[in-house]
A and B are shown apart, each in its own frame.
Chain A
Amino acid sequence: MTRPRPEAVDNQSPKGWLCIVLHAHLPYIRHPECEFMLEENWLFEAITECYIPLLAMFDNLVNDRVPFRITWSLSPTLCSMLTDPVLQQRYVKYIDRLINLAEMECERTKRMPEFRDTARMYLDKFLLCRKMFVDNDSCDLVSHFRLLQDAGVFEIITSAATHGYLPALQNAPRSARAQVLLGKESYRRWFGRDPAGMWLPECGYYPGVEHLLSEAGISYFFSDAHGILFAQPRPRYGVFAPLICKDAGVAAFGRDIASSKAVWSAKEGYPGDYHYREFYRDIGFDLDIDYIRPYIDPIGIRSTTGIKYYKITGKTEDKKPYVREEALRRAAVHAGNFMFNREKQIDYCASLMDRQPIVVAPYDAELFGHWWYEGPQWLNFLIRKMAFEQNTVGLCTASDYLSANPVNQEAGPSFSSWGYKGYSEIWINGSNDWIYPQFQTMEKRMSDAVETHREAGSLAKRALNQMAREQLLAQSSDWAFIMKSGTMVNYAQRRTREHIANFTRLADDLEHDRLDKHFLSLLESHNNIFPDIDYRVFGQGR
């Protein structure tokens, strides 16, 4: 297919570029020791509601020969889970249960005209998910992403190994380095090439991280707008062109605020439209407990099923039935509005610049289809409209832009994140700050262990590798975020404490030459992320 690369500029070249980035990430949640673990459903819901609908939509664009370029950031924890046989098998059971529930719903609503079409919509969707997951992709969605990258429509980038929030690891430099290097190495295993870019977890940048990226051979990253706007010296083009980090040669692209607001903002964003599907009215809570029991937590705690029959309707408890056709019409209108605003934005910026401006629009991939049910269709309409209804804005990736514009201003970006208030308050506050002294202790003990055991024997090597896994798993930004957000706090605290405890016991046992093979094997089978890890990644580095 034709790739609208910026270097192919000619008379028909657009005035500027839109770089859409879908950041897909979930923390590593895998509990082979339990028959059912509610938190594993986060992955299954994301597969059903986000990843498969998006992949199916992109497949259709390719089949229809619509030109586009989209950047995906796939975190290593997500790729690890998507390629894990235990979770793959569990997903098949999950989708089979949902198909069964949707069939029951079709039967239950067959004389309820306001709901029956929606019930049928869910059944069709779940059947499609099963077909794509089992028949088309042999249960391996990562291979599907890889194919679309190899076809030239996706640029897939990596993220930090376990999505560690790097500004909070400034005082644990070996951990920060291991997060970056393992993010790169794990990518190679799944995609057979080096990643061009890295998604900094939570857009968290601190001065100096660019040297870690440079060591890993990463060409670019994304920061929030103020990371670029508050750079030293001031950025000539605002966020509409990248900066090159001094002495590292790594490019920093800044998030565009206007295009973010259109989608993210609770007040102004499209997803709050009257006709879109209401997220919080799920039959897991609405229907009789005996009817729904087989499809929720086996102990009878109500939870979401993904089947929801109402539209947002407005700020009222009296929700109206969801009408898919109406919602899709709104998605098309919103896509047109988004495109129109980008055209105006690019027109304006291009008039002030001596090069093509780039608008960077990163979103959590899980917004599309999960929180915003019509999100994949909005994206579908947007890409098609951009391809055929205007010539002002083209879709590109950061790599495309750098190829066409290799010379950029040098500057030092500013510490920033895309979290509340723009810095680290979400990840460092009274609800979660107890983790940082623990991280410090692990950093010291791991550093000492690496120096002491440069050439470890077989068993010690296994223990050191597992210590590295436990340390990295404790550092996921998700745990600190959840502790602050106030939902599922116990799980986040338990996970953090468990990984710290596992690390500590292994470190103690290693120091006293009393490693417990059974305990080690158990951890290796449960917390099995990064099977090829080499603990020496926690070495001193440069």
Chain B
Amino acid sequence: MNSPKNAHFKKSSGAVTEPDQGGGRGGSNNSVMYALPRDPETIFTYWEIDPLALTRLRKRMEVSAFERSKRALRLLDVSDIHYNGSNAWQTEDIEIPDSASSYYVRVPEQGRTYMLEYGVIDAGGAFFKIVRSNSCLTPRKGVSDQQDKAWSAVHSDKLIRASTDAMNGDIDASQSLDAFITGLGSVAVSGGIA
């Protein structure tokens, strides 16, 4: 299993979620939520909440508890698993404004698969889910460690270094890659004639 490396990705407390499949729809309500990877560190998520779902949740929680609760997103690391509602590698809760309908979520680790849930957190830290997004894969920003035995070669590192426009033998592969990654997108000027 592919477990996360980042020790700072803390597990959330109390999860009150019914197991259902991700994919945008809110199960028994008409809420929808989507997650779109923007770059290795960021997911753009947006949603539309069915007012009836909030009404039902208000009834499900005690009214006073609902009034004291905060709107929140729950980030779930679901890399290499079929998420069943409780088996995420890690979760993290992010409080958001009540009025928000979209959010940029910083992810703790690149190259992993995430889902998001929209819901509320009560005073005790328990999360009540309203809707869950699709899963999305953030890209890995770096050369893969995985070698293809059929295509491995002694000069692979040199060719990768040359691909970053660093043919100078004094620069090692990791330095040239760092410079390359820092400069990503700096040599393209798209936009046609406007």
Contact = CB atoms under 8 A, between A and B. Distances in A.
B147 A233 contact: yes
B144 interface: yes
A296 B44 CA distance: 41
B166 to A, nearest CB: 9
B192 A230 contact: no
Given A229-B163, A236-B148, A436-B46, A260 B187 contact: yes
A238 B162 contact: yes
Identify whether the interface residues of B are mostly helix, strand, loop, or mixed: loop
A251 to B, nearest CB: 15
Given A170-B136, A352-B159, A433-B102, A418 B192 contact: no
Contacts of B144: 230-234
Contact of A437 (B101, B136, B164): B101
B117 to A, nearest CB: 16
Given A26-B193, A239-B163, A345-B162, A230 B188 contact: no
B68 interface: no
A258 interface: yes
Contacts of A25: 192
Interface string A352-387: 111000000000101100100000000000000000
Contacts of B186: 265, 420
A234 B173 CA distance: 14
A235 B187 contact: no
A238 B160 contact: yes
Interface in A126-184: 167-168, 170-171
Contacts of A167: 37
Contacts of B162: 238, 240, 345, 348-349, 352
B104 to A, nearest CB: 8
Contacts, number: 195
A364 B164 contact: no
B194 A488 contact: yes
Nearest to A421: B185
Contacts of A206: 37
A411 interface: yes
A422 B185 contact: yes
A42 B194 CA distance: 7
Interface in B114-151: 134, 136-148, 150-151
A277 interface: no
Contacts of A236: 148, 151-153, 156, 159
Contact of A419 (B101, B142, B151, B190): B190
Given A225-B163, A436-B44, A409 B139 contact: no
A261 to B, nearest CB: 5
A234 B147 contact: yes
B142 A366 contact: no
Nearest to B143: A234
A45 B193 CA distance: 8
A421 B141 CA distance: 11
B39 interface: yes
Interface in A501-532: none
B34 A411 contact: no
B7 interface: no
A481 interface: yes
B48 A424 contact: no
A352 B154 CA distance: 9
A400 interface: no
B139 A345 contact: no
Nearest to A415: B139
Interface string B80-95: 0000000000000000
A478 interface: yes
Given A366-B193, A421-B39, A353 B159 contact: yes
A285 interface: no
Contacts of A364: 189-192
Contact of B24 (A171, A261, A411): A171
Contacts of A537: none
Nearest to A416: B139
A510 B67 CA distance: 42
A228 B162 CA distance: 13
A42 B192 CA distance: 9
Contacts of B188: 203, 224, 260, 264, 418-420
Given A364-B192, A481-B190, A425 B39 contact: yes
A284 to B, nearest CB: 15
B34 A171 contact: yes
Nearest to B158: A352
B146 A232 contact: yes
B57 interface: no
A488 B144 CA distance: 41
A230 B40 CA distance: 12
A98 B180 CA distance: 44
12 contacts: A27-B192, A46-B192, A167-B37, A226-B141, A228-B163, A229-B143, A230-B139, A230-B141, A236-B152, A236-B156, A258-B165, A436-B44
- The 7 tightest CB contacts between A and B, nearest first, are A422-B184, A238-B163, A423-B39, A238-B159, A352-B155, A415-B139, A418-B188
